[in-house]
């Protein structure tokens, strides 16, 4: 909670909730746009949430470094501005939790979990730390 309060005070948090129409939502993050979609899914299977209860929060720690938090959502990114149209990738997607102000790594998500539209978070809330790069 301490980290959330600090990030909110610094203006680093952006959040969205799933609307009745279940449409994707776009969040501008400087050199990046985050596209958040909402679905109850596992693997490559995508199905609309029965009720609009998905939520997502992005904390921008640096130009290309983010904390992604949510339920029933998927995150993907698009480079914009001077990086528009460039190839990009997730440098690393780490799943973990915060304890006493420090991110504690639980596991690193592999390509199967970050491909096919970006990292997905199911019904159980998750905290992901990710860094993006352009090539």
Query: What is residue 46's predicted lDDT score, i.e. its pLDDT?
Result: 66
Query: What is residue 43's predicted lDDT score, i.e. its pLDDT?
Result: 55
Nearest to 120 by CA among 12, 50, 20, 47: 47
Query: What is residue 42's predicted lDDT score, i.e. its pLDDT?
Result: 57
Q: For residue 104, what are the CA distances in angstroms to 16, 86, 94?
A: 25, 32, 9
Which domain does 100 fall in, by range? 2-134
**CATH code, 18:** 2.60.220.20
Instruction: List per-block mean pLDDT (blocks of 10 residues) for the chain, which spans 135 residues.
Output: 90 96 94 92 68 95 96 94 91 92 92 80 94 92
Query: What is residue 86's predicted lDDT score, i.e. its pLDDT?
Result: 92
Domains held by the chain: number? 1
């Amino acid at each position: 909670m301490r980290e959330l309060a600090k990030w909110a005070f610094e203006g680093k948090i952006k959040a969205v909730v799933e609307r009745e129409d279940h449409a994707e939502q776009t969040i501008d993050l400087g050199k990046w746009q985050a596209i958040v979609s909402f679905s109850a899914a596992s693997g490559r299977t995508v199905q609309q949430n029965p009720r609009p209860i998905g939520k997502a929060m992005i904390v921008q720690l640096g130009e290309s470094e983010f904390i992604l938090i949510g339920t029933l959502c998927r995150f993907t990114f698009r480079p914009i501005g001077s990086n528009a149209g460039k190839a990009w990738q997730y440098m690393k997607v780490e799943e973990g939790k915060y304890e006493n102000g420090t991110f504690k790594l639980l596991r690193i998500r592999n390509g199967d979990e970050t491909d096919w539209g970006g990292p997905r978070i199911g019904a159980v809330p998750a905290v992901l730390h990710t860094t993006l790069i352009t090539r």
